[in-house]
């Protein structure tokens, strides 16, 4: 790569971190403030939703055995508190488990997931106010989303939960700590050397270590911020060396710094109601469209399902998922379980669905083909399905763009209802303050995060 391009990345990253260190809550428009609070509510609920997963429970028990002094809460439905690094690892491992967290539509990036586990632990441990937490979320989200677009990686090779999460965690923590621009830059470059080379296909294969990557990266992001403060850093070219030289990304340096403070990445975020990979959401909604008026149908009533979908959806090809994660990344399971259950909520991906005879057979009767013609954004993740019934009738449905993104957003009330339904059985006192935060009421924004947490954990 020419030195001029290397320098362009360093310069643009400098502009980004200068802005990140200097931006204040007063600089953030009201719409983006509200977005940050809604994202916090939604992704926090997604984190809590995984609390009953047996592998996660075992992981958390192991983390707790070696943890340090209690200073941050593990959101497991109880009152567990660990050191901030262990809490970030524990909560980060939970946050993507149910596939209910949101993402950034313009790239393969779950930006809030990459920020919140480290940020929540740091904010509780240090007594940060909710207003400062939300600003740090906005900054971390902006930073990692711009990384995702600026470093264009080969398609579906590196999973962003490993490849990007440390960047978001480090940037969010650096902003919360209020470090000056030069240290912010060192923190982000150091974080670039602490990312994980997680293979994307591990998700399709159902390798549960994929769920842990955001947790480990959250702890790494905290360490990057710690170490930059004492001179243990990468170099000014670390981001380039990792993402371009090692991972093989095509760089777009200008994206790192263009229109900072004018364009906000949170405006390009999406939310999820279907508990599976977003690449399969159009398949869910196409099946639902095909079964409109029927709702759902028994597995033995379906002779075949043909799914025509986009390139990323075609990559989710696994007719025999061995874990719930694999099921969430299997177009065959997504189509079959939506047809049988009428929805793609958490129950449609329960462990029992992996071995239920009707679904096992129906998955084998799902075929995947390319969607033609290719579509431009926001319709670049479409699906078309043909359901052939056992009596020979055919039903068809199409979805050009699944709900939840900027082009077809859920209402705030829909997202709030989703979050409340999750939180009411785990932390019934959590919903009200987080909902109030979305109203930008000064009294809640001025409260310390640890006080808010203490209020609902001990509710």
Q: Minimal CA–CA distance to 105: which of 261, 259, 272, 226?
A: 272
CB 457 within 8 A of CB 108: no
What's the rounded Cα separation, in Å, for the pair 10 and 400? Answer: 38
pLDDT tens-digit readout, 13-40 = 999 999 999 999 999 999 999 999 999 9
What's the rounded Cα separation, in Å, for the pair 289 and 79? Answer: 43
Q: Which two tokens stand for residue 296?
A: 């759902």
Residue 208: is its pLDDT beyond 60? Answer: yes
For residue 450, what are the contacts with CB-CB under 8 A and spacing of at least 6? 123, 124, 125, 127
What's the rounded Cα separation, in Å, for the pair 172 and 140? Answer: 4
Burial zone of 127 (CB within 10 Å; 0-12 exposed, 13-18 middle, 19+ buried): exposed
What's the rounded Cα separation, in Å, for the pair 145 and 68? Answer: 32
What's the rounded Cα separation, in Å, for the pair 326 and 351? Answer: 11
What's the rounded Cα separation, in Å, for the pair 312 and 7? Answer: 33
Angle CA 158–212–139, to nearest 5: 70
Residue with tokens 């380039």: 240
pLDDT tens-digit readout, 387-422 = 999 999 999 999 999 999 999 999 999 999 999 999
What's the rounded Cα separation, in Å, for the pair 166 and 221? Answer: 5
What's the rounded Cα separation, in Å, for the pair 388 and 410? Answer: 31
Write b or e for each residue in 35-54: b if 16 or more Cβ atoms lie within 10 A of its Cβ, otherwise e.
bbbbbbbbbbbbbbbbbebe
> How many residues make up the chain in this entry?
459
What's the rounded Cα separation, in Å, for the pair 281 and 219? Answer: 31
Residue 379: is its pLDDT beyond 60? Answer: yes
* Banded model confidence at residue 211, pLDDT cuts 50, 70, 90: very high
pLDDT tens-digit readout, 319-348 = 999 999 999 999 999 999 999 999 999 999
Backbone angles phi, psi at 398, to 5 degrees: -145, 145
What does pLDDT average to over the chain? 97
What's the rounded Cα separation, in Å, for the pair 229 and 173? Answer: 12
What's the rounded Cα separation, in Å, for the pair 72 and 82? Answer: 6
What's the rounded Cα separation, in Å, for the pair 116 and 183? Answer: 21
Structural domains for the chain: 3-270 (1.10.4100.10), 278-399 (3.30.1330.120)
pLDDT score, position 4: 75
pTM (predicted TM-score) = 0.96
């Amino acid at each position: 790569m020419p030195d001029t391009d290397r320098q362009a990345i360093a310069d643009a990253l400098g502009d980004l971190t200068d802005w990140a260190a200097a931006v204040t809550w007063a600089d953030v428009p009201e719409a983006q403030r509200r977005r940050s609070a809604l994202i916090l509510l939604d992704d926090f609920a997604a984190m809590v939703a995984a609390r009953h997963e047996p592998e996660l429970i075992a992981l958390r028990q192991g983390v707790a055995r070696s943890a340090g002094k209690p200073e941050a809460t593990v959101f497991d439905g109880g009152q567990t508190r660990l050191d901030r690094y262990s809490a970030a690892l524990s909560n980060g491992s939970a946050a993507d488990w149910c596939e209910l967290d949101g993402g950034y539509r313009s790239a393969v990036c779950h930006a809030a997931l990459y920020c919140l586990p480290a940020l929540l632990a740091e904010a509780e441990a240090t007594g940060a106010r909710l207003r400062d937490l939300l600003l740090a979320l906005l900054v971390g989200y902006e930073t990692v989303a711009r990384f995702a677009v600026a470093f264009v990686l080969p398609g579906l090779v590196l999973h962003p939960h490993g490849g990007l999460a440390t960047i978001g965690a480090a940037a969010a923590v650096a902003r919360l700590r209020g470090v000056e621009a030069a240290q912010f830059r060192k923190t982000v470059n150091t974080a670039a050397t602490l990312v994980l080379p997680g293979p994307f296909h591990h998700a399709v294969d159902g390798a549960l270590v994929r769920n842990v990557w955001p947790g480990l990266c959250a702890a790494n992001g905290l360490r990057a911020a710690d170490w930059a403060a004492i001179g243990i850093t990468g170099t000014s070219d670390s981001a380039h060396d990792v993402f371009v030289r090692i991972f093989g990304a095509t760089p777009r340096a200008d994206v790192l710094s263009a229109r900072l403070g004018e364009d906000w990445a949170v405006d390009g975020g999406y939310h999820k109601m279907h508990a599976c990979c977003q690449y399969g959401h159009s398949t869910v909604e196409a099946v639902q469209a095909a079964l409109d008026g029927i709702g759902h149908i028994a597995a033995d009533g379906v002779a075949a399902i043909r799914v025509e979908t986009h390139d990323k959806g075609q990559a989710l090809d696994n007719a025999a998922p061995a874990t719930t994660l694999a099921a969430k990344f299997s177009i065959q399971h997504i189509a079959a379980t939506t047809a049988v259950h009428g929805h793609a909520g958490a129950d449609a991906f329960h462990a029992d669905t992996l071995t239920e005879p009707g679904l096992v057979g129906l998955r084998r009767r799902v075929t995947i083909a390319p969607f033609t013609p290719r579509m431009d954004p926001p319709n670049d993740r479409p699906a078309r399905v043909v359901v052939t019934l056992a009596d020979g009738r055919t039903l068809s449905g199409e979805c050009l763009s699944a709900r939840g993104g900027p082009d077809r957003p859920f209402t705030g009330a829909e997202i709030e209802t989703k979050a409340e339904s999750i939180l009411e059985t785990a932390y019934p006192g959590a919903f009200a303050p987080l909902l109030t935060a979305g109203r930008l009421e000064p009294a809640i924004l001025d409260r310390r995060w640890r006080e808010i947490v203490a209020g609902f954990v001990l509710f």
